[in-house]
Amino acid sequence: MSCGTLYICATPIGNREDISARAVRILKEVDLIAAEDTRHSRGLLDFYGISKPLVSYHEHNKYERAEELVGRMLQGKNVALISDAGTPVISDPGEVLVIMAREAGIPVTSLPGPCALITALTLSGISARRFVFEGFLPMENKDRKAVLDALRDEPRTIVLYEAPHRLRKTLQELKECLGGGRAVCLCRELTKIHEEALPATLEEAEALYREKEPRGEYVLVIAGRSPEEKQEEMRSSWESRSPEEHLQAYMSRGMTKKEAIKAMAEDFAISRNTLYALLMK
Ligand code: SAM
């Protein structure tokens, strides 16, 4: 007996019309639909006249349920995976099931469709040529700080997901880490009646939401660090100390004088000869 297929099906992120004809057909044809929240998905499936058996597949049963679903597919059943909104696996359950299905030699195919990060990126007006997607920032302060620190010098556009109750804290931390002047587009209620894509600086966004209550789910599209911003930061950092003080600071990190001058030359884009001349003065 040949085994079934796992279909990863993207579903709407708000507007029910945003689902592909292929996804609707596959959802009608499969033997079983695995959904993050079966009650939530029932509404969408009823809307499209889909009445297949539903099983839950969420963060808390992802290992046991994946094993069970793999077993069903090995017996020849076709399974579709959907999440509450958008593309499964993207900040949603699904990864474990895909890995286990592939390991078992089950064909896996993905039916493309809505994804909040792509929707936000395309309407933000911020460069979409190169970007990094961080999903939700970690909850733990230490882990958040590590992620934010790693984003400080990121030259590519940064895309984050955020829930309304954490938006204020996130905007404040982003402002502190990336600087208030950085461009951001706050995208909320995408594809819904009150869709909004608000362009601002991080400073403006943080001030706005200090007054205004965040509502709905957000995607933050943030401009990457420009070469000019980096140059400007380096220039003011250079001017904040004398050349000797910079040298001492570098050497206090355990570098020899020669290594410190080499590192300073690279960091501040100053030739080594110029640095030696300045230090001799
Ligand atoms: N798998 C989904 C996707 O493909 O985009 C993401 C699921 S994740 C659990 C939910 C987050 O996606 C929300 O907190 C929000 O950041 C973002 N999101 C989902 N739908 C959205 C919408 N209509 N407008 C703005 N953001 C949305």
DSSP 241-267: S-HHHHHHHHHTTT--HHHHHHHHHHH
Report the C-alpha gap between 93 and 8 in whole angstroms: 11
| Cβ of 69 less than 6 Å from ligand 1 | no
CATH for 6-114 is 3.40.1010.10
CA-nearest residue for atom 19, ligand 1, is: 116
188 lines ligand 1 (CB under 6 A): yes
Q: Checking DSSP bridges between strand 218-222 and strand 157-162, what pairing results, if any? A: antiparallel
How many angstroms separate the alpha carbon of residue 119 from the centre of ligand 1? 10
Which residues lie below 8 Å from residue 179, measured CB to CB, with a gap of 6+? 202, 229
Whole-Å CA distances, 238 to 178, 179, 225, 242, 252: 19, 18, 19, 8, 17
Q: 117-225 adopts what CATH topology?
A: 3.30.950
| Residues of the chain falling short of pLDDT 50 | none
221 Cβ inside 6 Å of ligand 1: no
CA distance between the termini of the chain: 84
Tell me, what's the pLDDT at 277? Answer: 86
**pLDDT at residue number 280:** 82
Determine whether the shortest distance from the Cβ of 229 to ligand 1 is under 6 A.
Answer: no
Q: What pLDDT does residue 201 have?
A: 98
| Ligand 1 atom with minimal separation from the 160 CA | 16
Residues 131-157: pLDDT tens digits? 999 999 999 999 999 999 999 999 999
Assign 3-state DSSP to the chain and report helix, strand, coil percentages, each to 5.
45, 20, 35
C-alpha–C-alpha distance, residues 150 and 141, integer Å: 14
Query: What pTM did the predictor assign?
Result: 0.88
Q: Which two tokens stand for residue 223?
A: 């401009």
* Residues 57-109: tens digit of each pLDDT: 999 999 999 999 999 999 999 999 999 999 999 999 999 999 999 999 999 99
Q: What is the DSSP string of 127-173?
A: --SSEEEEEEPPSSHHHHHHHHHHHTT--SEEEEEE-GGGHHHHHHH
For residues 90 and 119, the answer to whether their CB atoms sit within 8 Å is: no
Q: How far is residue 137's CA from residue 139's CA, in Å, rounded to a whole number? A: 6
Question: Is the shortest distance between the CB of 110 and ligand 1 below 6 Å?
Answer: no
Q: Do domains 6-114 and 117-225 have the same CATH topology?
A: no
Measured from the CB, is residue 196 less than 6 Å from ligand 1? no
Residue 45 CA to ligand 1 center (angstroms) comes to: 19
Ligand 1 atom having least distance to the Cα of 86: 4
Strands 32-35 and 108-111, bridge-based pairing: unpaired
Assess whether the C-beta atom of 161 lies below 6 angstroms from ligand 1.
yes
Q: What is the pLDDT of residue 205?
A: 98
The answer to whether the beta carbons of residues 123 and 186 sit under 8 Å apart is no
- Neighbour tally for 98: CB within 10 Å: 18
Ligand 1 neighbourhood includes 187 CB (under 6 angstroms):
yes
**Angle between the 243-251 and 257-268 helix axes, to the nearest 10 degrees?**
120
Going from the Cα of 188 to the center of ligand 1, the distance in angstroms, rounded, reads 9
> Could you state, in order of their start, the residue ranges of all structural domains in the chain?
6-114, 117-225, 228-280
For residue 92 and ligand 1, the question of a CB distance below 6 A is answered with: yes
